[in-house]
Structure 1
Amino acid sequence: TSQMDFFTEYGEGNRYKIEEVIGKGSYGVVCSALDTHTGEKVAIKKINDIFEHVSDATRILREIKLLRLLRHPDIVEIKHILLPPSRREFKDIYVVFELMESDLHQVIKANDDLTPEHYQFFLYQLLRGLKYIHTANVFHRDLKPKNILANADCKLKICDFGLARVAISDTPTAIFWTVLQFPPTMLTISFGYSISITAANFLSCFRIISQQGGTEHLSYVDLFSPSIHQQ
C-alpha cells in the first residue's frame, strides 16, 4: 500500500510515513507507520466508506468516543484522528493508535514455552484493565484474545470497543476490587493462596470473564478457581 493510495486527499497524512500493512478486514486496512513529528511508530486504521451503513458508523463513533475518554496503561490509546480538508470529502476515517506487535491469540498460539508466571501477568493486566473500565460503568461485551493486543515484553492492552456499552451497574464486590489494587507479588498475601496458572487455566478464567459479560460480580477466589490451590 503506497502512501498515496492509503491517504486519499488527506493533507494531515503527510505527517505519517506508511511502512507496511499489518491487518485487513471488511472495515478496511491497518498499516504500521512512522510519525515524522515525534519519531514514534504507530498503527493507522483506515475505515472505508464510514457513512455507508448507519450501524457501522455508530459502532465506530462509539469506539472512538470511549477510547478518547478511557485512558489507562492496559487500554490501547488513540493518538490522533485524521480529518479531511472539508466535510464534503468526509468519506473515509483514519484513526492513529499506538503500535502493538501482536495479539494475545497469536501469542498463546505461537509460544509453547510460556510459564505460569507469564499467564499470571497476563491475567493481572486483563483484570486491572477491566477494573478501570467497569469503574467508568463501561462494559466491553466482546472480550476475546484477538481483542487484546500484546508486545514481546508481555504487555497487554484491551482494544476494539465497538460493541461496548455504558451502563449503571451494581456496586462491585469489595473483595474483588480491593485485591486488584495490589501488584501480582502481593496476591498471595491477602488470602493465603498460591497461584499456579497454566495456559488451560488462563483460558478457562478468560471464558468465565467473557461469559459473565464482566467480572464485577465474581469474587477473587471464584474467578481463579480451579487455578488456585489452597495451601
Structure 2
Amino acid sequence: MSTTSVKTKEAIQKSVKPQSQTQSRKVVFNISHNFKVLKIIGEGAYGIVALAVHLPTNTKVAIKKIEPFERPLFCLRTLREIKLLQKFNSHENLIKLYDVQRPTNFNSFNEIYLIQEYMPGDLHQIIQTHVLSDQHVQFFIYQILKALKLIHSANVIHRDLKPSNILVNENCDLKICDFGLARLDSVGMRTNKISSLTEYVATRWYRAPEIILNASHYSTAIDMWSVGCILFELLTYKAVFPGSDYMNQLTLIFELLGTPSEEDMEVIRSKRAKLFIKSLPVRSRINFHTFCSNHPCRRIRHQNRDLEVNPSAIDLLEKILVFDPSKRLTAKEALKHPYLSSYHDPLDEPSTSPIPMEEFAFDVEKKDLDVGDLKRLIYNQIVSNKNSNS
C-alpha cells in the first residue's frame, strides 16, 4: 500500500466516531459528521450501501449499513464478513475495509457501518455495456484468480462469486466483495467439526453442480466453477446457465458439458440425484470454441467483427468448467495457464496461512447461539479490532 493510501486509511479510521445523522432516500445513516452521504448505490436483504465522501481527505467511500439483529442468519453473515474483510484487508483484489464504526455502547448497538473502499462499477455492468477485448478478459480473470488463490490458501470458500460481487474501476482494477456467505472449507481442513454446508449458496446461475447434487460437502472448487461461468459470460456477454430452478439448472449444465460419465457419477453421493441424472436425455459435450465464437450476443456486441475467441481462453475454460470438482484446476494452477501468461507473476500472487478453525467457532456452535449471543460476538469483534489498531 502506498504512503498516501496509508494516510487516507488512518484519517478515515479516526473519523468514524458516531456524531450525526445523514438521511438519503429515507434511510438514516448515523455516522460521523466527517462523512457526507451522497446517494444510495445498493440495497440487499439486510444491508444498504451508500456512496459517501470522507470530508477531511475528500475521499469517496462506500458505507454499508447493516441491521442484522432481527435474525441469527443475518448476524452470522455479518460476523463472517467483518472477520474476513479484516483478515484479507491488504490484498489488492479484495475490497478494502477502512474501518467499522465503533458502537457507543452495547445497549445502543443496533446497526453496523462498514466503511469500505469505493469502486464505481461491477463486472455485471461491464459485461452488459462494453465490448471486451481478449486482453480485458485475460486481465479480469487473472485478478479474480489471484484473489481466490489467497482466500483458498486460507481454507476459505467465497461461495457467492458472480459478476455483481466483483467490483471494477475505470482502470479495470478488480476487487471481490461480499463475504457474507463465505465459510471455512471443512474438506480442505480434513475435519468434520465445521457445521454442514448448505445448498442455498451462490446465485443459482453460478452454482456448481455438486452443491445442487450433494448439498452438504463441497470445497473451494465451487468457486472455480463460478470462475468458469464468469469466463463464459465475459466471452459471450450472456449468462451461460440461467436456470429457472435447480432441475433446469442441471439440465442446462448437461446440455453444454454432456451427460456425466460413469466415472464422474462416482462423485455423486445421493442415489436420488443419480436417478435424476439418468432420467435425463443423454447429451454429448458441445464444442466450447464454436459455442462462444458464434454466440448471438457476441455477434451483436462485436457487430460481426472479431468473433473468434482465443483458443487459449477456451482451453482454460475447459479445464475449469468440469463436472468432477477434483478434476477442476485450482486457482493456483489456473494462474499458470498460458492464457494468463501476460500477467502471471508468482512473486505477486501471495498465499497465506490457513485460518484456525477456532476463529470461526460460531459457525460450529451456531445452533447454540441466539441473536443476543451473536450480537455480543459482533460487538466484541468490532471493539477488539479497534483496540488492536490503537
SS in 1 for 2:81: helix
Structure 2 CA distance, aligned partners of 1:91 and 1:58? 15
TM-score between the two structures when normalised by the length of structure 1: 0.72
Match of 1:78 in 2: 97
Structure 2 CA distance, aligned partners of 1:17 and 1:210? 48
User: Is the aligned partner of 1:102 residue 2:121?
Assistant: yes
Equivalent residues in 2 for 1:17-36, closer than 5 Å: 17-36=36-55
Map Cα deviations across residues 80-123 of structure 1 (whole Å, 9 max, x no partner).
11133221111111111100011111111111x21000000001
User: Is the aligned partner of 1:196 residue 2:280?
Assistant: no
> Could you tell me which amino acid in structure 1 is paired with residue 133 of structure 2?
T
> Could you tell me which amino acid in structure 1 is paired with residue 97 of structure 2?
I
Residues 221 and 52 of structure 1: CA distance in aligned 2, closer, same or farther (over 3 Å)? closer
User: Is the aligned partner of 1:117 residue 2:230?
Assistant: no
Map Cα deviations across residues 155-180 of structure 1 (whole Å, 9 max, x no partner).
1101111111123628xxxxxxxxxx
Q: Percent of counterpart pairs with the same letter?
A: 39
> Could you tell me which amino acid in structure 2 is paired with residue 100 of structure 1?
M
SS in 1 for 2:86: helix
Identify the structure with the greater strand proportion. Answer: 1
Is the contact made by 1:208 and 1:223 (CA closer than 8 Å) also made in structure 2? Answer: no
SS in 1 for 2:64: strand
Structure 2 CA distance, aligned partners of 1:65 and 1:127? 21
State the Cα distance separating 1:128 from its structure 2 match.
0.7
- In the alignment, which of 69, 74, 83 is matched to residue 51 of structure 1? 69
RMSD: 3.6
Identify the structure with the greater helix proportion. Answer: 2
Equivalent residues in 2 for 1:78-227, closer than 5 Å: 78-111=97-130, 113-167=131-185, 169=188, 196=310, 208=321, 212=325, 215-216=329-330, 219-220=333-334
Map Cα deviations across residues 119-171 of structure 1 (whole Å, 9 max, x no partner).
0000110111111111222111111111111112111101111111123628x
Is the contact made by 1:7 and 1:13 (CA closer than 8 Å) also made in structure 2? Answer: no
User: Is the aligned partner of 1:42 residue 2:156?
Assistant: no
SS in 1 for 2:171: coil
Structure 2 CA distance, aligned partners of 1:13 and 1:159? 24
Residues 212 and 44 of structure 1: CA distance in aligned 2, closer, same or farther (over 3 Å)? farther
State the Cα distance separating 1:7 from its structure 2 match.
4.6
Residues 205 and 65 of structure 1: CA distance in aligned 2, closer, same or farther (over 3 Å)? farther
Residues 35 and 202 of structure 1: CA distance in aligned 2, closer, same or farther (over 3 Å)? farther
State the Cα distance separating 1:15 from its structure 2 match.
1.7
State the Cα distance separating 1:31 from its structure 2 match.
0.7
Structure 2 CA distance, aligned partners of 1:215 and 1:32? 37
> Could you tell me which amino acid in structure 1 is paired with residue 70 of structure 2?
E
| Structure of larger gyration radius | 2
Residues 133 and 215 of structure 1: CA distance in aligned 2, closer, same or farther (over 3 Å)? farther
Is the contact made by 1:100 and 1:149 (CA closer than 8 Å) also made in structure 2? Answer: yes
State the Cα distance separating 1:212 from its structure 2 match.
4.7
Is the contact made by 1:119 and 1:202 (CA closer than 8 Å) also made in structure 2? Answer: no
Is the contact made by 1:143 and 1:210 (CA closer than 8 Å) also made in structure 2? Answer: no
